Structure formats: C-alpha cells, structure tokens
Amino acid sequence: MRAGVAGGVLSTLAVAGASGAANAAEPVTQTLELPTLTTDLATQAAKSADATQQAAANYQLQAERDAAAANAAKQAKADLAEAKQKAADAKKKAEEAARKEAAARASRNAERTTLAATSDSGSTSTATGSAASVISFVKAQIGKSYVLGASGPSAYDCSGLVQAAFKEIGVSLPRVSQDQSTAGTQVSLSNLQPGDILYWGSAGSAYHVAVYVGDGMFVGAQNPSTGIVEKPLSYDPPTGAVRVL
C-alpha cells in the first residue's frame, strides 16, 4: 500500500512538472493602454499656446513702451537743456540791450543839458556869407504852413524847407531828410554853427531836419499844427548835425 501511494504521488509530481515546464516555455505579453487625447485636452492645449503667445506679445509691447519712454525722457532732458540755454542767451541779450539803452539815454540827457545851457546862455552866433543867406531865407518862411511833400513857396515839409534854403545859395541837397542827414560833415551838437543842418533820428535814417540859426535856436517846418517856427534847441533836442557850408 505504501508503495502504491508513493507511486501515485510521484506520478502526480511528474505530470505537474511537465505542465510547469510547458507553461514556462510560453512568452508572456502585457498590453499598456495609453490615454486618448480627448477634445477637452486639445482645447486646453490650444488655450495654453494662445496664452503663451499673448504673454510673449505683452512682454514685447512692454519692452517697446519702456524703450519709447526712455527715449522720450532723454529727448525731454535735451529739450530742457536747450530751452535753458536759449533763456540764458535771451536774458544776456536783454541785459546788453538795456545797458546800451541806458548809455544812450545818458548821452542824450547830457546833450540836452548842453543844448539847454547853450540856449539859455544868451551867447550870439553871427552868421556871415552863405550861412547868413540860408538863415535869412528860413526865417522869412516862419509862419507858413507845413504840408507833407511840399517844397514851397507857400508851404513846406521839413526837408523841403532845408532843400529850398540851400538852393538859394546854389547848394543842391537831396530831397528827403534821411539823405540830408548825411549830406555834409557830421558835427558835434556842442560845436554848432549857424547854417548847420540839424537832424532827428539816426544819420542816414533821420525822420526830421531843420536849420540851426544861432543863439541856441533853430527854424524848421515842424508839423501841420505848428507850421514853420523858430524854437530853442531845448524845445526838441536834435540827435545830430551836419555841416554843408
């Protein structure tokens, strides 16, 4: 009986071993299932790509804005420096102009003081020769009318009177006051002689002329209100004088 049992067990083990050997010889295959890309996942991926692109565009735009702001700040700084320089130059020019005007005013005041002293001194300057003829002519016109552009004999303007006076002695003068103010030799107002031509304004651009008749007086066709009159130099101090005779 023991021998039978042992034989049966051995037979069973043999069969099992053969079966195990057969199973061991067969390959084992395992299938891995990958997740399927669903529509939702695709949409999310697209949105993520768009967001990334938008963020890149925003960064680029911000960089451009920063660069523009930096350039604007640089330009503003340059403009401010230029404006300050221009303001400084303008201030310097204004100060220089004011200084020149003050000097010119002081010079005019000094000349007026000299003219006033000459007019009030009672000194007599006697005209002779051609100068006496010029003075005689202009004094004979006192009381006549002032008419712009007129050159006599019933009315004159300032340069017309001066031209007519010198024409009496054969001296040809330009017609207008601007040219008459440079027709002779420039002389100082403190060294006037009868017959000198007085002018108002700058030499070469004078706006009025008259004739110095001595004793601190002049005769001129002043304006339509006064006509031709004799006045002291202090009445309307001239700017300069020229000597033709």
- pLDDT, tens digit, 9 for 90 and up, residues 39-91: 677 777 777 878 888 888 888 888 888 888 888 888 988 888 888 898 888 88
Report pLDDT for 122.
Answer: 39
Between these two residues, 97 and 109, which has the higher pLDDT value? 97
Distance in angstroms (rounded) separating the CA atoms of residues 48 and 201: 86
Where do the domains of the chain lie? 119-243
Q: How many CB atoms lie within 10 A of CB 161?
A: 26
Distance in angstroms (rounded) separating the CA atoms of residues 5 and 130: 184
For 119-243, the fitting CATH number among 3.90.1720.10, 3.30.310.80, 3.40.50.2300, 3.30.110.40 is 3.90.1720.10
pLDDT band at 106 (very low <50, low <70, confident <90, very high): low
DSSP 82: H
Cβ contact 150:156 at 8 Å: yes
DSSP 1: -
Distance in angstroms (rounded) separating the CA atoms of residues 174 and 208: 13
Tokens of 177: 């006051």
**Is the per-residue pLDDT at 120 higher than 70?**
no
In a 13 Å sphere around the CA of 185, the CA atoms on its Cβ side amount to 9
Bond prior to 237 in cis (omega within 30° of 0): no
Distance in angstroms (rounded) separating the CA atoms of residues 42 and 170: 115
Q: What CA dihedral angle connects 87, 92, 98 and 99, to 10 degrees?
A: 170
* Integer CA distances (angstroms), 176 to 74, 150, 159, 160, 221, in order: 58, 11, 6, 8, 13
- Mean pLDDT over 6-29 rounds to 49
Tokens 């299938």 identify what position? 31
**Is the per-residue pLDDT at 32 higher than 90?**
no
Identify the burial level of 9 via C-beta atoms within 10 angstroms of its C-beta, where 0-12 means exposed, 13-18 middle and 19 or more buried.
Answer: exposed
Tokens of 179: 């040219």
pLDDT band at 12 (very low <50, low <70, confident <90, very high): very low
- Mean pLDDT over 122-130 rounds to 63
Report pLDDT for 115.
Answer: 56
Tokens of 169: 């002695």
Proportion of the chain above pLDDT 70, given as a percent: 74
Distance in angstroms (rounded) separating the CA atoms of residues 145 and 150: 9
